[in-house]
Amino acid sequence: MVEHAPCSVAERIREICRYIEDHSDDALTLDFLASKAAMSRFHFARSFKAVVGVTPKRYLAEKRVEGFKVGLRGARSVDAAVYEAGYGSPSRVYERAAGRLGMTPAQYRASGAGVAITYAAIETPVGLMMIGATDRGVCFVQFGDSEAALAAELHREYAAARIEPMREPHDAQLSRWASAIAEHLTGHRPHVDLPLDIRASAFQMRVWRCIQSIPYASVSSYGEIAAAIGLPGAARAVARACAANVAAIVIPCHRVIRRDGDLGGYRWGLTRKRALLDRERAGKARETGSSARNSVP
């Protein structure tokens, strides 16, 4: 067992995270992990959730799915990938994978074969945007210079999926989601809360969920996000997670800046990032001014 005396609780939890990552195919129980951390079962479970943001069971499941996805991308059968990832039977992974992969294991292995994605391109005040969605949620929101370039990016993500532009009659669900984002960008809808059907590592998901909690017209630094998820030394990793975001606006990574106030990077260009922040601040100022005027007797 690792010597834990000089370690803080957070360091012990990080050690356990590394252990889970290296042994995700083992049958790990809460009691076993708590013992390995030299903590009581209750204290370990509570501390793990506080540091990592998810329960030990959820973290193990995420790591097991990550290993499973790697196996699916290889030249082995689905059943072989199931067992090598630590699942006891194919039925277990099929029960759980849809919510985390966004598709069945066979579909993921086949680069989205059998998945239907509909997309629409809309002009916004900050440039052309494409929105793609499955029947489960938004899976693609990105800016670009042309519809062709954006469609090519969508096809790279799901090379074998059935990807089609929105046609008449318009898909009601996609139309609602596209309208919500368009209204947000024109300042008529400060808050966007749409279902997402995206793939992410456990770390990326924690970062993206935290970013979604940043209030409209506000900003946080990469370091503040890292601290908020219990990993204060992970500012650079947070920046990488922002760069990997596939759902602009819905996951508002434009609200994450450097600690010194510099804008930092943005996948879709710093000019667009600055414009998005300026529009939000202007909208907030109008909203505040209107509220103040309405309150005057």
The residues carrying an active-site annotation are: 253
In angstroms, rounded to a whole number, what is the distance separating the alpha carbons of residues 224 and 239?
11
In angstroms, rounded to a whole number, what is the distance separating the alpha carbons of residues 79 and 7?
40
In angstroms, rounded to a whole number, what is the distance separating the alpha carbons of residues 227 and 141?
27
CB 18, CB 5: distance < 8 Å: no
Q: In what order do the strands lie in the sheet with 138-144?
A: 138-144, 127-133, 116-124, 162-165
CB 7, CB 40: distance < 8 Å: no
Strands (DSSP E) found in the chain: 116-124, 127-133, 138-144, 162-165, 220-221, 256-257
Token pair for 66: 């990550």
| Residues facing 165 on adjacent strands | 119
